[in-house]
Amino acid sequence: MYPSRFHYEAPRSLAEAFSVLQAYGDEAKVLAGGQSLIPLIKLRFSAPAVIVDINNIPGLDYHEEDSDGSLNIGALCRHRTLERSPLLRSRYPTMAACAPLISDPMVRTRGTLVGSLCHADPQGDWASVMLALGGDIIAQSAKGERAIPASQFVVGPFQNALEPNEIAVRARVPASKGTRSGTYLKLERRVGDFATVGVAVALEASGSTINRAGIALTGVGPSNIQCTEAEQALAGKTLNASTVEQAARLAAQAAQPKTDVRGSAEYKRHIVHTFVMRALSNQQQARAA
């Protein structure tokens, strides 16, 4: 690979990283797993003057629950760790379903969840999961930290809400309002491909009553789409043929797909409907069993 010339910084602490960012402003680009950034600079689609490699900063490779029941995922926590996480498997079914569907094993070994969110690719899978779970992203700068809801974090294709002097240090999933269930379904042409369509479904229920429903879509709009109407159609309800169908219909309506090499807009909308049906029907059946 022959990228454009860049200056490389490898700070050993967050404080050092912030001063580097302060010095270079928006000329700097943060490198975590590099699985999106490196292809971009290889193709010279992106030519940052400075690359700030945060891999030497200790204390960012973790995922753990806080005392308030929220889950925090550090900026250097790799997809591979999440894929193998017993915690996710036991308590975060939507995340556990998504992790093994991220690209391919090589990308999962290096790439990070937080980096994927920052990249803000409309075909990124994690952003849908975070939208469905109502998560947020914690941005830190020399002045302190702030939480940016996942729904406000992406401001456009490949554009996030971070200031040039901020680093996304962790993602956070709030404590559950009930028992979690859900899944992530992804139609891809091949392992490692971006989603033709991805659907994240996250339910939090007491008994058969859904306290909170999260449904979000990948690959069918200029950014990941939170299906607010479909979510509201399920909140406070139980899953049955009628509510499942209604949610699927509303989710399909929320999609803004485009016709491209992965299929027609009509097809993609149909897949959203099919996947929401499948995801919810499976939860319904699991509950019945």
Partner 1 sequence: MAQALDEVKIGGLGASRKRVEDDRFVVGKGNYTDDFKLPGMLHMEILRSPLAHARIKSIDTSKAWQMPGVHMVLTGDMAAQHNLAWMPTLSYDTQAVLATDKVRFQGQEIACVVADDPYIAKDGCEAIQVEYEPLPVIVNPYQAVAEGAPVIRDDKEGQTDNICYRWDVGDREGTERAFAQADVVSKIELHYPRSHPSPIECCGSIADYNAATTKLTVYMTTQAPHIIRAAVAIVAELPEHMIRIVSPDIGGGFGNKVPVYPGYVCSILCSILLARPIKWIEDKTGNLISTGYARDMYYKGELALRKDGKILAVRFHADTDNGAFFSDAQPTKFKIGLLHSAFACYDIPYAYMTAQGAYTNKAPGGVAYRCSFRVTEAMFFQERAIQTAANDLGMDQAEFRRINLVKDDQFPFRTPYGFLLDSGQYEKCLDVALNAIGYHDFLREKEEARKQGRRLGIGLSTMTEPLGAGNSREYDILGIKMFDCAELRVHPSGKAILKIGSKTQGQGHETTFAQIVSHELGIPAADILVQHGDTDNTPFGMGTYASRSTPTAGAATAMVSRKIRAKARKLAAHLLEVSEEDVEWELGRFYVRSAPNNGVTIQECAMAAYGNMPDGLEPGLENNAYYDPPNMTWPFAAYIVTVEVDPETGVWDVLRMVAVDDCGVRINPMIVEGQIMGGMTEAYAMSNMQFITFDAEGNCVGSNYMDYLLPTAWETPGFELHEVVTPSPHHPIGAKGIGECACVGGPAAFVNAVHDALDDTGVRNIDMPLLPHRVWEALTYKRDVSGAPPLKTDAD
Is 5 one of the binding residues for partner 1 (CB under 8 A)?
Answer: yes
Binding status of residue 45 toward partner 1 by CB under 8 A? no
Shortest Cβ 79–partner 1 spacing (Å): 16
Residue 69 Ramachandran class (φ > 0 left, ψ -120 to 50 alpha, else beta): left
Helix 265-288 and helix 241-254, axial crossing angle in degrees, nearest 10: 150
Name which position in 7, 12, 143, 258 contacts partner 1 (CB under 8 A): 258
Residue 219 beta carbon to partner 1: minimum distance, rounded to whole angstroms = 13
| Residues sharing a CB contact under 8 Å with residue 195, sequence separation 6 or more, in sequence order | 123, 125, 186, 187, 188, 218, 219
Residue of the chain from 149, 194, 253, 282 that contacts partner 1 (CB under 8 A): 194
The answer to whether residue 215 forms part of the interface with partner 1 (CB under 8 A) is no
By CB under 8 A, is residue 156 in contact with partner 1?
A: no
Among 90, 159, 259, 285, binds partner 1 (CB under 8 A): 259
Minimum distance, C-beta of residue 191 to partner 1, in the bound complex (Å): 4
Q: Of residues 172-191, which lie at the interface with partner 1 (CB under 8 A)?
A: 187, 189-191
Q: Which stretch binds partner 1 (CB under 8 A): 157-165, 172-180, 225-233, 269-277?
A: 269-277
Any residues with CB less than 8 A from the CB of 43 and at least 6 apart, and which? none
Is residue 159 within the footprint of partner 1 (CB under 8 A)?
no
Q: Which residues, 6+ apart, have CB-to-CB distance to 46 below 8 Å?
A: 29, 37, 40
Q: What is the dihedral of CA 217, 237, 173, 175, to 10 degrees?
A: 180
Maximal C-alpha separation, the chain: 59
72 in Cβ contact with 174 (< 8 Å): no
Interface with partner 1, residue 270, by CB under 8 A: yes
Establish if 13 lies at the interface with partner 1 (CB under 8 A): no
Residue in 54, 68, 50, 38 with CA at minimum distance from that of residue 170: 54
Q: Binder to partner 1 among 16, 53, 61, 193 (CB under 8 A)?
A: 193
Can you give the binding site for partner 1, defined by CB under 8 A?
2-5, 39, 43-44, 104, 187, 189-194, 196, 258-265, 267, 270-271, 274
